[in-house]
Amino acid sequence: MKLAVIGCGLLGGSTAAAWRACGSVQEVIAFDPDRAGLQRALDCGIVDSVADSLQQAVAAADCIVLAPPVGAMDAALQACARYGRLDAIITDVGSTKEGIVRSARAALGDSLARFVPAHPIAGGALPGVEHASAGLFSGRWLITTPLPQTDPQVLRQVEAIWAACGARVERMDPAEHDRLFATVSHLPHLLAYALVHQIAGDADGSRMLQFAGAGFRDFTRIAASEPTLWRDIALANRTALAQALSTYRDEVTALLTAVEQGNAAALDRIFSLSSQVRRRQPFDADTPAAHGATGASPMSRTS
Amino acid sequence: MKLAVIGCGLLGGSTAAAWRACGSVQEVIAFDPDRAGLQRALDCGIVDSVADSLQQAVAAADCIVLAPPVGAMDAALQACARYGRLDAIITDVGSTKEGIVRSARAALGDSLARFVPAHPIAGGALPGVEHASAGLFSGRWLITTPLPQTDPQVLRQVEAIWAACGARVERMDPAEHDRLFATVSHLPHLLAYALVHQIAGDADGSRMLQFAGAGFRDFTRIAASEPTLWRDIALANRTALAQALSTYRDEVTALLTAVEQGNAAALDRIFSLSSQVRRRQPFDADTPAAHGATGASPMSRTS
């Protein structure tokens, strides 16, 4: 199978590498307006050839993986419809799904049946194709959000490739996907940006950052993320994200009231429930700090 | 020098281990209502003897380190005043300083001059004396918040011990300390608890947690922290913390407005500034994920 990767950065490049490593593709062509990035992809053997245009890339492929930023997605979908082969599989790796499904419905026409909306939950590495890795998706979730029109055989084929790459595949409705990830992914990014923004606006901001410890470092790590990427995600998922932000503001108000009133019982209730829920969560890479109070002395302080 | 540790958990135990390792103390006695914890401290050689009472512990010591939870601090300070030697050095390792300074003023009388309020910025390990380590403070900040009454020689002596343990020592006003740490330590803990609390209250909460990725995991790691400890810290620092929470709520409102209005420029401004500030911060143990977009392709997605 010949794969065309549209947008050849960390995710596009890693997809090419992973799909090749599991034997699903034999040849990879890529298109990206960043010629230097394409050259790096060639240099590290992730792609076999580079296309001069979207048209050239999609015309040559049995399968097209769309990995551009949000703003370039419509043009990529239109190229798939116009120049893609009539049996080509089309899929994507985008963080939001309702918007891309809307765009796909508008752009793809008959090709919609061969489009599998997908989202690999993989990140945490440096961006750029030079950091791409065939192992990026191993043990990670891969969400598909098929449409009523999606060809079941094409869906199964895409899911089987991801499963062969070691991903855990789950299907969802696009709206459910966007609501879940609004809360556990997009919201935390905005909240981390907000805290750093607050500190940046404080007269003592530099001094605050000087003495910040490990908790702050972990909490705000995602505030170092690529700002335009997250701006686009926030806008693409604005309905679900606004709801999540509004609910979060209510949570902050409840905490503020409890702190102002010195309401120990209310704080206890919120902190204890959250602590229990968070400790129960079997995140693979948690540090020991995440697991709790067992062995704590009633006279001991831990931070 | 003979050291009495009041409250023998991770911090109290690590202080004893570090002060001994740097040659500042030759003998350690400890008191903690948790007898099993004291036995573990004896077993691992962190303390030489255990006291049956606060009185017995403080009466024997050249230096007293107070490391109990907030609720037990007043009794410990009173014991220092009543039973401590007239030349004993008294210091603490508490996360908030205005409250303890107030308690110390009320309890210590003439001993106030020999009290050095201190806060080692060290955490991230499992609680309990069995996880204590002499190296916990190496390369970490140690804040002292001396009072006008503090004997300069006693202050220098305590700071020299911490410096010998590898800590970077900085002096602050107690109010400044509490304001800085309200924002970079106490606030992030409350915000992480709030997000997990929101998810726990959502009908789809379990499903959200099931698919949460690395960003969420880092962001909420501190929500696994000991809830009663953070309840006490929040109450001890309620004035500064309420101010920080209120400002944060304004930040959330600004984000919510920008998302609802689809205001790309406003989101860009907030995210870009925060991302720059966060990337500039030289946190020792950041993963590569914290550092940026260099090498990112304009067509690439990174999460």
Nearest-Cα distance to chain B for A238, in Å, is 6
Question: CB distance A289–B249 less than 8 Å?
Answer: no
Question: CB distance B227–A34 less than 8 Å?
Answer: no
Grouping H, G, I as helix, E, B as strand and the rest as coil, residue B141 is: strand
Strand partners, B116: B91
pLDDT score, position A286? 45
User: How big, in percent rounded to 5, are the helix, strand and coil portions of chain B?
Assistant: 55, 10, 30
Share of chain A above pLDDT 90, in %: 85
pLDDT score, position A126? 76
Question: CB distance B281–A34 less than 8 Å?
Answer: no
Chain A partners within 8 Å of B68 (Cβ): 299-301
Chain A partners within 8 Å of B297 (Cβ): 7-9, 32, 34, 37, 127-129
Burial class of B135 by CB neighbour count within 10 A (0 to 12, 13 to 18, 19+): middle
pLDDT score, position A124? 60
Partner-chain residue, chosen from A13, A218, A251, that has the shortest CB–CB distance to B198: A251
How much is the average pLDDT of A106-120? Answer: 97
Test the B interface: residue of A44, A256, A271 with most B CBs within 10 Å: A271
- The beta strand positions in B67-200, using DSSP E, are 89-92, 115-116, 118-120, 141-144, 168-171
Closest by Cα among A170, A155, A136 to A11: A136
CATH number of the domain located at residue range(s) A176-285 in this protein: 1.10.3660.10
With a cut of 50, say whether residue A259 has pLDDT above it.
Answer: yes
**Alpha carbon separation from A93 to A15, A100, B261 (Å, rounded):** 9, 10, 26
Chain B partners within 8 Å of A129 (Cβ): 297, 300
Chain A partners within 8 Å of B303 (Cβ): 11, 95, 122-124, 185, 225, 229
Chain B partners within 8 Å of A122 (Cβ): 213, 303
Nearest CA in chain A to B119: A303
Nearest CA in chain A to B265: A231
In chain A, what are the domain boundaries? 2-172, 176-285
Cα–Cα dist A283/A291, whole Å: 11
How much is the average pLDDT of B182-205? Answer: 97
Question: CB distance A297–B8 less than 8 Å?
Answer: yes
Partner-chain residue, chosen from A129, A274, A299, that has the shortest CB–CB distance to B196: A274
How much is the average pLDDT of B266-279? Answer: 96
Nearest-Cα distance to chain B for A78, in Å, is 16
Cα–Cα dist A302/B11, whole Å: 6
Q: Which CATH superfamily is domain B176-284 in?
A: 6-phosphogluconate dehydrogenase C-terminal like domain (1.10.3660.10)
pLDDT mean across residues, chain A:
91
pLDDT tens-digit map of A167-199: 999 999 999 999 999 999 999 999 999 999 999
Question: CB distance B278–A184 less than 8 Å?
Answer: no
Chain B partners within 8 Å of A270 (Cβ): 193-194, 197
pLDDT score, position A303? 41
Chain B partners within 8 Å of A229 (Cβ): 301-303
Nearest-Cα distance to chain A for B1, in Å, is 23
Partner-chain residue, chosen from A179, A256, A279, that has the shortest CB–CB distance to B245: A256
The residue to which tokens 């796909």 are assigned: A104
The encoded tokens of residue B131 equal: 């996880």
Half-sphere exposure of B55 (CA within 13 A, CB side): 1
Strand partners, B4: B29, B64
Nearest-Cα distance to chain A for B85, in Å, is 23
pLDDT score, position A283? 65
Chain B partners within 8 Å of A69 (Cβ): 298-301
Question: CB distance A247–B194 less than 8 Å?
Answer: no
Chain A partners within 8 Å of B141 (Cβ): 211, 213
Chain A partners within 8 Å of B273 (Cβ): 196-197, 200
Question: CB distance A179–B279 less than 8 Å?
Answer: no
Question: CB distance A262–B238 less than 8 Å?
Answer: yes
| Interface A-B: count of C-beta contacts within 8 A | 512
**Residue A274 pLDDT level (bands cut at 50, 70, 90):** very high
Partner-chain residue, chosen from A181, A235, A300, that has the shortest CB–CB distance to B127: A300
How much is the average pLDDT of B258-277? Answer: 97
Closest by Cα among A210, A211, A283, A286 to B124: A286
Instruction: Give the pairing type, strands A63-66 and A2-6.
Output: parallel
Strand partners, A66: A6, A92
The encoded tokens of residue A189 equal: 């990014």
Cα–Cα dist A94/B62, whole Å: 63
Nearest-Cα distance to chain B for A114, in Å, is 22
Test the B interface: residue of A43, A91, A274, A276 with most B CBs within 10 Å: A274
Nearest-Cα distance to chain B for A20, in Å, is 19
Q: Which of A81-90, A104-113, A276-285 has the lowest mean pLDDT?
A: A276-285
Cα–Cα dist B94/B154, whole Å: 18
Question: CB distance A184–B68 less than 8 Å?
Answer: no
Nearest-Cα distance to chain B for A244, in Å, is 9
Partner-chain residue, chosen from A32, A221, A298, that has the shortest CB–CB distance to B290: A221
pLDDT tens-digit map of B80-92: 999 999 999 999 9
With a cut of 50, say whether residue A300 has pLDDT above it.
Answer: no
ipTM of predicted assembly, 2 dp: 0.89
Question: CB distance A273–B200 less than 8 Å?
Answer: yes
Nearest CA in chain A to B276: A224
Task: Please give the single-letter amino acid code of residue B84.
Answer: G
pLDDT tens-digit map of B123-149: 766 788 999 999 999 999 999 999 999
How much is the average pLDDT of B220-242? Answer: 94
pLDDT mean across residues, chain B:
91
Grouping H, G, I as helix, E, B as strand and the rest as coil, residue B260 is: helix
How much is the average pLDDT of A70-94? Answer: 95
Chain A partners within 8 Å of B213 (Cβ): 121-124, 140-141, 184-185
Nearest-Cα distance to chain B for A117, in Å, is 15
Share of chain B above pLDDT 90, in %: 86
With a cut of 90, say whether residue B176 has pLDDT above it.
Answer: yes
Cα–Cα dist B301/B160, whole Å: 50
| Fold entry, domain B2-172 | Rossmann fold (3.40.50)
